[in-house]
Copies of this chain bind each other. A is one copy, B any other.
């Protein structure tokens, strides 16, 4: 596997564009298009929130019922959630408009929205945006970057990545982009993430790969514990790489899954580090746990703890909060048997062992915790299972952003 430049346009046959539609933001792009010249198998995972945004409902039925997909239209600024029948009608209208400009079937168009809940989309501006996107699309690396910037809301950096693998002597590319900064606590899937690949893979195995991959990638991040109404992760595979179609588990499937995991891990981790108001990526690695699920639960409990997140912001080695978060996770263990370490580029330090403070230097701990990427290592001494979760610190700016968001 090799990481290459680019994102959603890295794979053969994919084009993209971004444009200013003035939906909510002024003076910046807020609509994006991903398009494939060839029909794609599509797999998707969506929010488990009972309150599902209209685009989630639309995409779910496309993924389930359409023979193939060929385009995704995304807007930032308004989430098209809690918008009733009108919201659903607007999804259909978006698809119809995109289909006519792109000359593809309406049921090959996926849609995505992110932003404020409860407002209707301004359809005149959305439709004008779609027309501009269709005219502007191209297959360059830059076009993929443009699209990844156009779907940002409170994100401070765009998120994209691409990798290649070799299958049957053919180069297969997987690229992706995502957005997400607040209301992030994915369950089954996350915010908006779009992955494109020229791999030939059956719809069934594509969904299998995606559903497997999200468990240890997007589902292991949290910014604020709030599972969004709009979480959507789509993978489009157009088969143009020319490999023998993957139709069952085996070596080729494993290689594809590994590359997909790599892409999803990068996007998920970057989203966590770019959490609203965050000054640091806060990673927790639980190892030597008795079961994989317990490792996941423990790691996620630590990165979700408001008190721990605030301590990370203060560069304070307040390990009691970490032990406390492990303790209320629901997993049974003996606290005396756990060892804790802090680690970052500045070093690694044992903090807690045998039920007690390990006698570390506060000064050294503060130095380690002052880096932009901070890891807590938790050795459970119970087995051999590992899981990693990613979050961020809790800052004044998180409060500021979310006390003012709609104004």
Contact = CB atoms under 8 A, between A and B. Distances in A.
Contacts of A83: 355-356
Contacts of A52: 327
Nearest to A277: B399
Given A117-B321, A352-B118, A328 B226 contact: yes
A130 to B, nearest CB: 25
A33 to B, nearest CB: 26
Nearest to A227: B328
Interface string A121-146: 00000000000000000000000000
A182 B79 CA distance: 33
A278 B49 CA distance: 28
B225 A304 contact: yes
Contacts of A319: 117-118
B320 A84 contact: no
A226 B325 contact: yes
Integer count of this chain's copies in the complex: 2
Given A82-B356, A307-B182, A51 B321 contact: no
Nearest to A324: B229
Interface stretch (A232-240, A262-270, A308-316): A308-316
Given A83-B356, A116-B320, A321-B117, A48 B328 contact: yes
Given A50-B331, A320-B116, A323-B117, A307 B404 contact: no
B50 A335 contact: yes
Interface in A50-103: 50-52, 79, 81-84
Interface string A329-354: 10111011000000000000000101
Q: Which of A81, A116, A320, A331 has the most CB of B within 10 A?
A: A320
A249 interface: no
B304 A406 contact: no
Given A50-B331, A50-B332, A332-B50, A320 B79 contact: yes
Range of interface residues on A (Cβ < 8 Å): 35 or more
A228 B327 CA distance: 9
Interface string A286-322: 0000000000000000001111001101101011110
Contacts of A396: 396, 399-400
A209 interface: no
Contact of A314 (B313, B332, B403): B403
Contacts of A352: 82, 118
Contacts of A316: 403-407
Contact of A405 (B304, B318, B402): B318
Nearest to A86: B356
A357 B401 CA distance: 23
B187 A328 contact: yes
13 contacts: A82-B320, A84-B356, A117-B321, A225-B225, A225-B306, A226-B306, A306-B402, A307-B402, A310-B402, A313-B403, A314-B405, A314-B407, A398-B399
7 closest residue pairs by CB, A with B: A117-B320, A314-B403, A51-B327, A310-B402, A227-B328, A49-B327, A224-B306
